[in-house]
Amino acid sequence: MFLAIAFALLFLNVAFLIVKMVAPYSELMNSFKTVNGYWIAQAACFVFVLLFVYLHFSGEEQAKWHISPEYVTEGDLYLGDESGSIEYNSFIVEGKNYETNVILPPKAIDADKVRLLFTHEGTSKLEPKAISRPTTKEQPVTLWFPESGKWRIDFEVDGSVVSSVVIPVKEKKE
């Protein structure tokens, strides 16, 4: 949304520059009381373009780390959506194995190479987990996370990431 607004404002900037070059004495250009008024309006418009571009890219990066939405099917709780999700019937604790099921994206069925990629919020990564030629959407997996926080699981199908799930991992209490 922010990017669309930025492009519209940039188009407006370019349109005013063209009008300034083609018809400097037009009614549109005479609506500015001073020459400085025109340039101040151009500069303000360009500043807003930069602001909206910044808002678009900063918000997009933060959205990657929101805990995925929950849904219930057949009595099981899942995090994610139809394009990839993980069964989440109990808390995931750091340093412990977590036996669960993943719902793979439809593209993954009978794909040659399906992997789960693990990234901790902003810092570390784990070795990818390969799933050998899945024939059904639901696949059992054992997950293990070395530290608490938010982890993103990317579903990679034949070399390209198809969807992601962000899950919370709790600290181990001793």
Contact by Cβ (8 Å): 109, 134: yes
pLDDT value, residue 84 = 87
CA dist., res. 171 & res. 149, Å (int): 8
pTM recorded for the entire structure: 0.64
- Chain-centroid distance of CA 174 in Å reads 35
How confident is the prediction along the chain (174 residues), in pLDDT tens digits per residue? Answer: 788 899 999 999 999 899 889 988 888 888 888 878 888 889 999 999 999 888 888 766 666 678 888 888 888 898 988 888 999 888 889 888 899 989 888 888 888 888 988 888 867 788 888 887 788 888 888 988 888 888 988 888 888 888 888 989 988 876
Q: What is the DSSP string of 127-142?
A: EEEEE-S--SSEEEEE
- Domain at 70-170, CATH from 3.30.420.40, 2.60.40.3830, 3.30.360.10, 2.60.40.10: 2.60.40.3830
Q: Which residue's entry shows tokens 């519209």?
A: 8
Contact by Cβ (8 Å): 98, 92: yes
Q: How is the chain split into domains, by residue range?
A: 2-63, 70-170
